[in-house]
Chains A and B, each alone.
Chain A
Amino acid sequence: MTRRPGRALLVPAILLLLATLDWSYVGTEQFVNALTIGAVYALIALGYTMVYGIIELINFAHGDVFMVGSFVTYWLLSSLGFNGTISDLPLLVVVLVGTFLAAMVVMGGIGVVIERFAYRPLRNAPRLAPLITAIGVSFILQNIIQIFFGPSPISAPQVIDVQARVNLGGVDVSVVKLFVIAVAFILMIALQTFVSRTRMGRAMRSTAIDRDAAQLMGVDINTTIAVTFFIGSALAGAAGVVQVLYLGTTNFQLGFQAGLKAFTSAVLGGIGNITGAALGGFLIGFIEVNSTVAGFSRWSEAIVFGILVLVLVFRPTGLLGQQLGERA
Chain B
Amino acid sequence: MTATAGAAAPVASQAERPLLRLDDVHTFYVHVHALQGITLEVFPGEIVTLLGGNGAGKTTTLRTISGMIHPRSGTVHFGDDDITNVPAHKLVRRGVGHAPEGRRIFGRMTVLENLQMGAYTRSNKDELGADFERVFALFPRLRERSGQAGGTLSGGEQQMLAIGRALMTHPKLLLLDEPSMGLAPILVEQIFQVIRDIHAQGTTVLVVEQNALMALGVAHRGYILQTGRIVLQDTAANLRQNPEVQKAYLGG
Residues of chain A touching chain B, judged by Cβ–Cβ distance below 8 Å, are 1-2, 199, 202-203, 205-206, 209-210, 212-221, 323, 326-328
Residues of chain B touching chain A, judged by Cβ–Cβ distance below 8 Å, are 66, 68, 87-90, 92-93, 98, 100, 103-109, 113, 116-118, 120-121, 149-153, 158, 165-166, 169
Given A216-B68, A217-B92, A221-B89: A327 touches B120 (CB 8 Å cut-off)? no
B152 touches A327 (CB 8 A): no
Contact of B120 among A2, A209, A218, A323 (CB under 8 A): A218
Residue ID in chain B nearest A208 by CB atoms: B108
Contact residues in A for B66 (Cβ distance below 8 Å): 216
Contact residues in A for B153 (Cβ distance below 8 Å): 328
Q: Which residue, of B66, B68, B89, has the highest number of chain A Cβ atoms within 10 A?
A: B89
B121 touches A206 (CB 8 A): no
Q: Which residue, of A202, A214, A215, A220, has the highest number of chain B Cβ atoms within 10 A?
A: A215
B121 touches A1 (CB 8 A): no
Q: Which residue, of A1, A2, A203, A213, has the highest number of chain B Cβ atoms within 10 A?
A: A213
Min CB–CB distance A146 → chain B (angstroms):
41
Contact residues in A for B104 (Cβ distance below 8 Å): 210, 212-213, 216, 327-328
B150 touches A328 (CB 8 A): yes
Q: Total number of A-B contacts with CB less than 8 angstroms?
A: 83
Contact residues in A for B165 (Cβ distance below 8 Å): 217
Min CB–CB distance A218 → chain B (angstroms):
4
Contact of B109 among A205, A215, A218 (CB under 8 A): A205
Min CB–CB distance A117 → chain B (angstroms):
21
Contact residues in B for A212 (Cβ distance below 8 Å): 68, 100, 104
Given A206-B106, A209-B109: A217 touches B117 (CB 8 Å cut-off)? yes
A327 touches B107 (CB 8 A): yes
- CA–CA, A205 to B107, complex, Å? 11
Given A202-B113, A328-B153: A216 touches B98 (CB 8 Å cut-off)? yes
Q: Which residue, of A1, A205, A206, A217, has the highest number of chain B Cβ atoms within 10 A?
A: A217
A202 touches B107 (CB 8 A): no
B169 touches A217 (CB 8 A): yes
A216 touches B88 (CB 8 A): yes
Given A1-B149, A212-B100, A328-B151: A218 touches B108 (CB 8 Å cut-off)? no
B89 touches A219 (CB 8 A): yes
Min CB–CB distance B50 → chain A (angstroms):
18
Given A212-B104, A327-B104: A218 touches B92 (CB 8 Å cut-off)? yes
Contact residues in B for A219 (Cβ distance below 8 Å): 89, 117, 120
B107 touches A220 (CB 8 A): no
Contact of A323 among B90, B108, B117, B166 (CB under 8 A): B108
A-B contacts besides A2-B149, A218-B90, 12 pairs, CB < 8 Å: A1-B151, A203-B120, A206-B117, A210-B106, A212-B68, A216-B66, A217-B121, A217-B169, A219-B120, A327-B151, A328-B151, A328-B153
Q: Which residue, of A209, A323, A326, has the highest number of chain B Cβ atoms within 10 A?
A: A209
Min CB–CB distance A58 → chain B (angstroms):
21
